[in-house]
Amino acid sequence: MQLSTLDISIIIGYLILTVFIGFWISNRASKNINSYFLGGNSIPWYMLGLSNASGMFDISGTMWMVGLLFIYGLKSVFIPWLWPVFNQIFLMIFLSVWLRRSGVMTGAEWIKFRFGTDRGANLSHIIVVIFALINVIGFLAYGFIGIGKFAAVFLPWELSADPYLNDIYYGLIITAITTMYVVKGGMFSVVFTEVLQFFIMTIACVAVGIIAMNKVSPDMLAPFIPDGWTNIFFGWTLDLDWTGILDSANQKIKNDGWELFTIFFMMILFKGYLQSMAGPAPNYDMQRVLSARSPKAAAKMSGLVSLVLLFPRYMLIAGLTVLALVFFMDDLQGMGDQIDFELILPFALKNFVPAGLLGLLIAGLIAAFMSTFAATVNAAPAYVVNDIYKRYFNPNASDKTYINWSYAVSFLFVVIGTIIGLFVSSLNDLIGWIVSALYGGYTASNFLKWYWWRFNGQGYFWGMLSGILTAFVLTIPYAELLGLSISSTGLSALLYDISQLSALESFPIILIVSTISAIIASLMTPPDDEAVLKQFYKKVRPWGFWKPIYKKLAQEEPALKLNRQFGRDMFNVAIGIIWQSALTAAPIFLVIQAYTYLWISLLVIGVCMVILKYNWYDKLEDYPEDLATKTN
């Protein structure tokens, strides 16, 4: 693709600026490991919120969601619940406060705070580090795939005559640039560059939405979409028939397995609720919560993410989708069975965005990749250095030693994630594996750790281990590896059936196995140290099954209050999910110029925000009123 001199200048200038910022603030970041990983708990909540929003504005996810909106229309609003995107609501309402009250540096360090230092706690510490690092590698591979596909289409230099190698070379170059600034600057670098990236992306996103509204009227769009595409509501089945418009879209829906949309909706709601209740995975999302100045700041940071992210992001997604539907349908039809919906985004951009704005948007989308990648890279050394090297090998090393080890670990994980990315062909497949299979192994143990006092370190370890192993077993492509066919019998037939399970279908099996393992292991081993449980409950004050611990604490401190806010929190979560869904739908209605539904969405947003103002925001507190020592 040919870019103007202005576009190329903007892109190169942005890349130079981000690297400069990383090196400019490196002295501040390298004071000690708290500064490197958590920014010294000195970064304002609104900057952390903008940073978190920017980090979720990743290019791979944007390409995926453009494809979803193209195929599923307004019903695609619910499909990202697979992540689940509404985990930000649970964090906003209560989990960010609980997590930040711990005052720890990483998810693995939190395990010590919750379970103590006995054998079960040590095993739990090891397994959560393993999970965190697998998670980091998965997201690094995911980001690498997306940026390679994107950059090869837009950047003007052909690095190889082989399209596959061209994608790889671009992915390697941009990955290397990102690694330089995040490794050098740590959390400070991540946050400051992501705030810059957020404003760039917001300008570009709104501009693309406006371009689409000017070029595509509702009458122009109508012949290119099936009946029901603009309807956010659904019945038992999806009822979107692309026959005669884009027949391959029907095959895509069939391959996804989401035709029985009500069942799919209930599955992702159930799965998303459990995973959200389990708290954030030990990745960049958790690191930002732990980086906040206070528990209240952490909650406000999580709430800001949805408020500032969704409208501009979905203006971009809707704008690109509408342009592709009207002007690129012939090209897509010409691809036949080989259609690649992940190419819709670059198709629309390179033909409809003017010079200058195109450079800004490309820089912004590259920035989106860089922000997600940077935050993920920053999470890896936090676990390896703080939770392995410092704890088990060299607890008394200098801060400079820990920072240097962090540099080395970051580079190592970038290399591993990149190598994995070379062997994964589809963003959709990798997203499905991460959010359904891998997180299925995470859910049970991390749900129980908050809400049941009798759940101990042994239960956590065996629940996590069995879940992770089951996730791998159920998602290995046995049929391909062993050359099995559908006519196989016995063990071969069983392996074939297992190999046909989607990541979402495997989630209930993973959940059941890990839950049973976690509960049995907890009940067959002694409870955790009572002093540890008392300290955890006193400081965090979760609701759930904690009465035995509360009663013992109340004998020592009669003023201690039991958390009775479960009902209020769950009501606020429900309101928050409706608010977040309306924030997602509103910009799509704006771009397709469905103004009646837009006003309804805005009304829903306003009512939800009023309720949350009085029933959540005004009632936030850093620590319970009865807690005498309010420390970080």
- DSSP characters for 281-302? -TTHHHHHHHHSSSHHHHHHHH
At 84 the three-state DSSP class reads coil
For 409-455, how does the pLDDT look when each residue is reduced to its tens digit (9 = 90+)?
777 777 776 676 666 555 455 555 555 556 777 889 999 999 999 99
Q: Is residue 536 part of a domain?
A: no
Nearby residues of 298 by Cβ (< 8 Å), 6 or more positions away: 45, 91, 96, 97, 99, 100, 289, 290, 292
User: What pLDDT is recorded for position 432?
Assistant: 53
Per-residue model confidence (pLDDT) at position 97: 96
Question: Cβ–Cβ contacts within 10 Å for residue 398, how many?
Answer: 10
Is 314 inside a domain boundary?
yes
The pTM assigned to this predicted structure is 0.84
Residue 591 has which token pair? 């771009």
- The pLDDT, as a whole number, for residue 427 is 47
- What integer pLDDT is reported at residue 142 of this predicted model? 64
Confidence at residue 478, expressed as pLDDT on a 0 to 100 scale:
45
469 within some domain = no
Give domain status of residue 433, yes or no: no
Fill in the amino acid letter for 117: T
In a domain, 452, yes or no: no
Assigned domain for 493 exists: no
Residue 607: count of CB within 10 angstroms of its CB: 14
In a domain, 446, yes or no: no
* Residue 22 structural domain: 5-274+294-425+563-619
| 629 found inside a domain | no
* Torsion on CA atoms 529, 535, 538, 539, rounded to nearest 10: -140
At residue 40, the pLDDT reads 55
**Domain count across the chain:** 1
- Residue 34 sits in a domain whose CATH number is 1.20.1730
Average pLDDT, whole number, for the chain? 81
- What is d(CA 363, CA 244) in angstroms, rounded to the nearest whole number? 37
pLDDT along the chain (632 residues), means of 10: 80 78 58 52 82 72 85 94 90 96 80 89 83 72 65 69 70 71 56 77 88 94 95 91 90 86 91 90 74 93 91 92 88 75 72 82 72 65 75 81 78 72 55 59 90 95 89 61 48 51 74 94 95 94 94 90 94 98 97 97 98 96 72 48
